[in-house]
Structure formats: C-alpha cells, structure tokens
Amino acid sequence: MITVIPDIHADPQRLEATLSATDGQLAFLGDFIDGGQGACDHTVLTRVRGLIDAGAVAVMGNHELNALLFHRGLRADSPKNRNQHRSFLEAFGFATPEAMAWTDWFLTLPLWLDLDGLRLAHACWSIPDIATVAARRPDGRLQESDLAEIGAESTPFGRAVKRIVSGPEVTLPAGYAFRDHKGDLRTEVRLAWWRNDAATYREAALSVPDVAALPDVPLPAGVAAEIYPADAAPVLVGHYKMTGTPHVSGSAASIDYLEAPCAYRWDGEEVLNAERLSKI
C-alpha cells in the first residue's frame, strides 16, 4: 500500500488531517511551502522532513524549485513572486542561512519517482522530458550547477525541468485567444495531458473559463504527443487545484483538490480507481 498525498502548501492542519486518514508507505507530491492565511512553512517542512527521514518519499514541486531559484537570484524579485512566496519569506527571510539550508534540502527531492508500477511527479509525467533530464541526472535529482540553466529556461534540459514541475502549455492557433479567471487575455493554454481521450484543443484545455473561445479542431501531432498513453503505468500528480468532486480513472490523474482534500491509496492496481481515494 502506498498513500499518495498532494500539495500541502504550508498548512499544518491539512497535513495532520491527511496523515490521520492514511496508512502504508507515504508518498508526497511536493509543494510543501507557500501557503495562505494560517500557513506555517517551518512546521510543515520539519514534519515532512522527519517523515522522509523515517521512510516516506517525495517529489519536488514547482514552489520548491521556484524557492531554489529565488534565493539564488535566479528568479525575479518581483512583487508577484514575493507574494507567492510570502509565507516562506516570513518564516525564514530572504537568502538567510536558514532559507538556504531548506532550499538546499529541496535539492534532495527528485523530480519524479517510479515506485514499482506507480509513477509520481508534481505536475507532469512527460516521457520525453523525463528522458531529457535523466540523460544528465538519472535519479531525477537536480544539482546546484543546473539551476542557472533552469531559471533561464535556455536549454532543452531547463525547459524539461520546468514542464515536469509546472505542466505543459501549448500555443493556440493564430487568431485564437481566451480570457483567464483573472480576465487576462492569453494565447497559450494549459494542457490536461492526462486526458488520453482528448483529441481537440477544447477537450485537452485546462483552466479555461469558456472553452468555446478555443478552436474545436484536432490537436497537431506535436501537441498530441504530450498526451499520456492510455496503456502506460498509472501516474498521479498534484499542482492543478482541481475543482468539483475528487475523481480519478484511467492511467493518469491530478489529485490536488483544494476545496475537497484527498489522498490516493494505491495497492498495485494497473488502472486508477476512484474508490481508492480517501477524502480528508
């Protein structure tokens, strides 16, 4: 039995409630830091690190990667980025010895895990991107020397790392755009890469308030190649702040339900099953 736990975001109550409803081997999907009201990065990090030292496993989230970059001057020190990182900064400060020690620990977290039939990543199990990173870092663990390249997204390696922790986005055909939830006009759309029955932009789009704004045409071959194969090993991710009733099926799914916390109890099944979800 492996219990998979999605994003905690510095919420000690959510963490303890989740732990009380789980059993077996623990596997975390990253994003331990950077919470909202009531966040306590220190409490969550200390608890999770203790669990990992005792045998739990975890992958790196985009917030851990962003913190690595931010405290090394490789991510813009903008109001937006400081706001996203506020609770960590309030707990540890900017580039202080404690902040640097915790971000050093983030480097021990791999970008992906393959647990004898169950695959885990924070945002995307991209077969080509994982192959690109594994050619240099076979265990998926980054090194300090990789960070400048990742921050600049200047190479295939750097871009592959970003997609694994943040998910793929695709550019819409010329002439198409949509308004996001904040009203901003966008020409790139998040791809729900786990929907292996998605064949069009509308079916594969994620976080689009009005999918009618998107072209109802087949995905080009290069984009369709990002969709996870239906016959591949099951994979679970977090990251996406899913809405509605938690649900999984098929070969891949996000279990990051912000308003309906859950965990997934995997017991060797080859197809994900909603009955294996534990509501918190």
Q: What is the pLDDT of residues 150-180, one digit of tens each?
A: 999 999 999 999 999 999 999 999 999 999 8
The rounded distance, in Å, linking the Cα atoms of 57 and 45 is 14
163 & 174 share domain? no
Retrieve residue 177's tokens: 């755009």
pLDDT at position 197 is 87
162 & 142 share domain? yes
The rounded distance, in Å, linking the Cα atoms of 8 and 46 is 13
Of 225, 242, 268, the domain-final residue: 225
82 & 97 share domain? yes
pLDDT at position 196 is 87
215 & 263 share domain? no
Of 225, 241, 263, the domain-final residue: 225
Domain count, the chain: 2
Q: What is the pLDDT of residues 90-144, one digit of tens each?
A: 999 999 999 999 999 999 999 999 998 999 999 999 999 999 999 999 999 999 9
The residue to which tokens 């909202």 are assigned: 36
144 & 60 share domain? yes
Q: How far is CA 3 from CA 35, 76, 84, 268, in A?
A: 23, 36, 28, 11
Of 202, 225, 248, the domain-final residue: 225
The rounded distance, in Å, linking the Cα atoms of 27 and 39 is 21
CATH number for the domain that contains residue 40: 3.60.21.10
Residue range(s) defining the domain that contains residue 197:
169-225
Mean pLDDT of 65-84: 97
153 & 173 share domain? no
**DSSP letters along 34-82, please?**
--STT--HHHHHHHHHHHHHTT-EE---HHHHHHHHHTTT-S---HHHH
215 & 272 share domain? no
40 & 155 share domain? yes
Question: What mean pLDDT value characterizes the chain?
Answer: 95
251 & 114 share domain? yes
The rounded distance, in Å, linking the Cα atoms of 104 and 68 is 8
pLDDT at position 265 is 96
201 & 73 share domain? no
183 & 75 share domain? no
Mean pLDDT of 25-46: 97
pLDDT at position 56 is 98
Work out the number of other CB atoms within 10 angstroms of the CB of residue 226: 19
92 & 210 share domain? no
